[in-house]
Amino acid sequence: MDFFSYQNEHLHAEQCSVADLASTYGTPLYVYSRATIERHWKAFDKAAGERPHLICYAVKANSNLAVLNIMARMGSGFDIVSGGELARVIEAGGDPSKVVFSGVAKTEAEIADALNHGIHCFNVESEPELDRISRVAQSLGKQAPISLRINPDIDAGTHPYISTGLKENKFGIAIERALEAYAYAASLPGLKLVGVDCHIGSQLTEISPFVEAIDKLLALIDQLAEQGIVIEHLDVGGGLGVNYDDEVPPEPADYASALAERLGDRKLKLLFEPGRAIMANAGILVSKVEFLKMSESKNFAIVDAAMNDLLRPALYSAWQRIVPVINKPELAMASYDVVGPVCETGDFLGKDRELAIEPNDYIAVRSAGAYGFTMSSNYNSRCRAAEIMVDGDKAHLVREREVLASLWAGETLLPEG
Ligand code: LLP
């Protein structure tokens, strides 16, 4: 459930008219709903129930400081994949002791910085990374809390580009080597073993792959206990899908209770790393129709947002709902490919969409709160969009639209001659 709805044929974000926001702040424009973010985060928190748990919001889904600050105020933890994301979390008022650090190639500087901030845990993805983290921790006179990301070799049944738990993916340590890797980690002086983690993919719409993965990890945790390695937490990663079209993903409550059932009476703390499930349907991308280009074979709605603003359709052939910001029942429906101004055939936001629109109308791409702005770029020297956070009947500009000079900030000309 989200807080975007039509009131008298006008799309609203909570109590704010989206058309008014677009004319005030210009387009392309990302609009987020605070109430939706809070509702989704709390659904996870409630689903985890009485069991000790930490929700580590996956910063990569949407790293705007206002978004992170809303999570921080609710007591959220964070899943980060770079020093930049850690800096954002701290800047937004997040608690570093609730941060888990994932990613296959953390640099020595990033590791040192994270240790100095006292993060909760490093999610380690390979044996050489164990050596690196131990070495850096020792040089700082510290012990790094670590978890090993286990690759359970499970088909998450999602798009190949966002599937991460198969043997052929670059992520994690193969489950067959896990015991050996833990024994090795236990022998390194700079490490303290605290967890086991996995993340098998994103946009999962079934519970069964999660359960299959958890069963494999619990068996591993039991084997580790037999060897005297006591694990404090199980981090189940992110990946819970959302409704873009007609998918019916599990509710956080059903997902969490399926996991809790497998855990039984083990005294493990549960960590979750949701990104999309919290943010996707908490945001929209608003764009203006520039031209309608009609032809015998195809109609194009050329809009002012492009693949540089929202890459998912171009990169994954992702389908996201496109709706008019104001419904105009008097207009005839037609089928359009909704495309942007970027000079690439792959620059589309949606194909074959039935829309009743005319030039200068606003349209909204739904479910754009996750992996929207964070994956945007300046391709074609386009300024990145502004971002708005709606809170009830108030709208806050939480990121200004980029200006032309920001496009070449840091660039220099060659000396004369
Ligand atoms: N934890 C780890 C270690 C991850 O790699 C990811 C996402 C998450 C948590 C959060 O997963 P989520 O709950 O959002 O599914 N750009 C793609 C999605 C890439 C996801 C990468 N990892 C997209 O737009 O669909």
Look up residue 347 and give its two tokens.
């620059």
Q: Please tell me the residue having the least CA distance from ligand 1 atom 6.
A: 238
Q: Which residue(s) pair with 285 in the sheet?
A: 30, 365
Select from 276, 312, 320 the residue to mutate for testing ligand 1; criterion: most ligand atoms less than 8 Å from CB: 276
Measure the CA dihedral 86/89/93/99, to 10°. Answer: -70
Residue 303 Cα to ligand 1 middle (Å): 28
End-to-end CA distance of the chain: 62
Q: Please tell me the residue having the least CA distance from ligand 1 atom 24.
A: 371
| 274 assigned ligand-binding residue | yes
Asked if residue 341 lies in contact with residue 386, where contact means CB atoms within 8 angstroms, the answer is no
Residue 264 Cα to ligand 1 middle (Å): 27
At 183, phi and psi to the nearest 5? -60, -40
Look up residue 92 and give its two tokens.
């937004």
What per-residue confidence (pLDDT) applies to 13?
A: 98
Residue with tokens 């609009």: 31
Amino acid, res. 136: V
Amino acid, res. 75: G
Asked if residue 189 lies in contact with residue 138, where contact means CB atoms within 8 angstroms, the answer is yes
What per-residue confidence (pLDDT) applies to 163?
A: 65
Number of H helices, E strands in the chain: 12, 21
- Per run of 10 residues, the mean pLDDT along the chain (length 417 residues) is 97 98 98 98 93 96 98 98 98 98 96 98 96 98 97 80 69 93 97 96 94 96 96 97 95 91 91 98 98 95 98 97 97 97 97 98 98 98 98 98 98 96
Strands 29-33 and 283-294, by their bridges, are: antiparallel
Residue 61 Cα to ligand 1 middle (Å): 7
Look up residue 48 and give its two tokens.
């985890």
At 199, phi and psi to the nearest 5? -155, 110
Instruction: Give the span between the Cα atoms of 337 and 347, in whole angstroms.
Output: 10
Strands 99-101 and 77-80, by their bridges, are: parallel
Q: Which residue(s) pair with 365 in the sheet?
A: 285, 322
How far is CA 286 from each of CA 30, 247, 258, 356, 402, rounded to the nearest angstrom?
6, 23, 37, 16, 16
Strands 191-197 and 233-235, by their bridges, are: parallel
Q: Which residue(s) pair with 339 in the sheet?
A: 302, 348
Minimal CA–CA distance to 273: which of 191, 204, 320? 204
| 273 assigned ligand-binding residue | yes
Look up residue 336 and give its two tokens.
């359009």
**Atom of ligand 1 at shortest range from CA of 203:** 15
Asked if residue 335 lies in contact with residue 301, where contact means CB atoms within 8 angstroms, the answer is no
| 25 assigned ligand-binding residue | no
Residue 171 Cα to ligand 1 middle (Å): 12
**Atom of ligand 1 at shortest range from CA of 279:** 14
Asked if residue 241 lies in contact with residue 193, where contact means CB atoms within 8 angstroms, the answer is no
Select from 273, 310, 367 the residue to mutate for testing ligand 1; criterion: most ligand atoms less than 8 Å from CB: 273
| 312 assigned ligand-binding residue | yes
What per-residue confidence (pLDDT) applies to 165?
A: 65
**Atom of ligand 1 at shortest range from CA of 238:** 13
Residue 189 Cα to ligand 1 middle (Å): 32
What per-residue confidence (pLDDT) applies to 404?
A: 98
Active site residue ranges: 343
Minimal CA–CA distance to 362: which of 20, 13, 7, 6? 20
Asked if residue 12 lies in contact with residue 4, where contact means CB atoms within 8 angstroms, the answer is yes
User: Which residues lie with the beta carbon below 6 Å from any ligand 1 atom?
Assistant: 58, 61, 79, 102, 162, 199, 202-203, 237-240, 273-277, 312, 316, 371
Domains and CATH numbers, the chain: 4-32+280-407 (2.40.37.10), 34-276 (3.20.20.10)
Residue 275 Cα to ligand 1 middle (Å): 6
The full DSSP string for 132-189 is HHHHHHHHTT--EEEEEEEE------S-GGGB--STTSSSSEEGGGHHHHHHHHHH-T
| 400 assigned ligand-binding residue | no
What per-residue confidence (pLDDT) applies to 261?
A: 87
Amino acid, res. 197: D
Q: Which residue(s) pair with 55 in the sheet?
A: 272
| 316 assigned ligand-binding residue | yes
